[in-house]
Amino acid sequence: MVVESRPWSVVARNLPEHADNAVHTDDGARAAGFRAALVAGTTLHAYLTHSIIEAWGPGWLADGTSMVEFLAPVHDGDRVDCVPVTRPDGSTEIRAEVGSELRARLVAHRGWRSAPAVAAVPDGEVLPSYVEVLEGPRTDYAHRAGDDLSLCAQEGLVHPCVWTALANEVMVRHLVEPPWIHVRSRIIHHGIALVGATVRVDATVVDRFETRRGSCAVVDVRISVDDHPVATVRHEALVSLAVPSG
């Protein structure tokens, strides 16, 4: 039986750990040309997956895919309505709207097993790997950010927003010149990870380019447990913001 995703709403909040990036503070955001602190992309990712996980369950965490894009600012205290739309190809788009204006979206697919599990490693600048145990603040992030869906916590599953958080960590360690902004991510789930797992994070810079908003970098991030992939992320961010004129 196909379960349709349901709308869900939340009041957006910034978590204390994001203050290291100035755009997530009022003063830093205004200096970068915004009216107030931006809510972190990882937080919006958590919100956008709520209805998908509720409808599709752990199966999607094992072999689903998604593309998440951040299109316009969401500010601390904004009411975010996550509105599902079924697309002709069978995927589901979750639209994050503030006052009916589209601010971010996630397009999710179930089951990619007809495609290769892991694509070939692209050419590019290979970054140093690192290892992290997924526990504590990392694994209760979605709940602290306001996602009230308890499935992941009840079953001890790593929430998918952790994959974008780890990709952000790659950016912070090697590429960004703060302040910086997460732009979009393409995530492929290769398997379920359990809370407490030790993951290895490998990353390669596959593109760099300039935009009117600043310098962008794109990295391919591979996250594995015991040498078995659990997620791959094509992660794009504005790693250095253009100084606003005037």
pLDDT in tens, 49-61: 999 999 999 999 9
Nearest one of 192, 144, 184 to 164, comparing CA atoms: 184
CATH topology of domain 8-112+121-241: Thiol Ester Dehydrase; Chain A (3.10.129)
- What's the angle, vertex CA 17, arms to CA 12 and CA 20, rounded to 5? 110
DSSP 137: G
Q: How far is Cα 212 from Cα 201, in angstroms, rounded to an integer?
A: 31
Answer for the pair 215, 163: CB distance below 8 angstroms, yes or no: no
Q: What pLDDT, on the 0 to 100 scale, is given for residue 243?
A: 72
**pTM, rounded to two decimals:** 0.93
Write the CB contacts of 1 (distance below 8 Å, at least 6 apart in sequence). Answer: none
Q: What pLDDT, on the 0 to 100 scale, is given for residue 5?
A: 87
Each domain of the chain, given as residue ranges in start order, spans 8-112+121-241
Nearest one of 166, 143, 171 to 230, comparing CA atoms: 166
